[in-house]
């Protein structure tokens, strides 16, 4: 296991992804790196409710930008309000992310796992 992957050990990572196979593969990869997966969650409103309830500890999140034609920006806003870091995930270019959200980290699908792990690393790790 790489040092980058080791940095995820013990982290609770929320996965918001509407494609079942992508969510399954991503969850498996994160768990193999030692993280605990919160989700996966396929709908923005469900993810917002989970974040706002505050019952689940979340260290960082991965948000698919497009969830069955609905954006994940409401989830991003809920995470920001609770000071929880996140990474957008998209199979499209930077233009797929609304201008006001482009300053947040973004990973391209299909995932380069090492690049994703680096984006998820806790600051200072």
Query: Is the pLDDT at 28 greater than 50, yes or no?
Result: yes
Q: What pLDDT score does 57 carry?
A: 96
Whether residue 125 is contained in a domain is answered as no
Residue 125, C-beta contacts closer than 8 angstroms, at least 6 positions apart: 7
Instruction: Give start and end residues of each alpha helix (H) in 15-98.
Output: 20-32, 44-53, 73-81
Number of domains in the chain: 1
**pLDDT tens, position by position, 46-57:** 999 999 999 999
Kindly report whether the global pTM for this prediction surpasses the value 0.85: yes
| Peptide bond connecting 105 to the previous residue in cis, omega within 30 degrees of 0 | no
Q: What pLDDT score does 74 carry?
A: 97
CATH number for the domain harbouring residue 51? 3.40.50.2300
Q: For the ranges 32-36, 83-87, 112-116, which has the lowest average pLDDT? A: 112-116
Give the domain range for residue 47: 3-120
Buried b (16+ CB within 10 A) or exposed e, 86-114: bbbbbeeeeeebeeebeeeebbebebebe
């Amino acid at each position: 296991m790489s040092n980058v992957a080791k940095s995820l050990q013990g982290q609770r990572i929320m996965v918001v992804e509407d494609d079942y196979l992508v969510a399954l593969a991503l969850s498996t990869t994160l768990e193999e790196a030692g993280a605990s997966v919160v989700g996966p969650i396929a709908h923005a409103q469900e993810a917002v409710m989970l974040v706002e309830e505050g019952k689940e500890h979340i260290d960082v999140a991965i948000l698919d930008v497009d969830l069955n034609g609905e954006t994940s920006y409401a989830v991003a806003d809920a995470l920001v309000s609770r000071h929880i870091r996140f990474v957008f995930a998209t199979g499209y270019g930077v233009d797929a992310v609304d201008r006001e959200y482009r300053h947040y980290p973004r990973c391209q699908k299909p995932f380069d796992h090492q690049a994703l792990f680096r984006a998820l690393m806790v600051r200072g790790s």
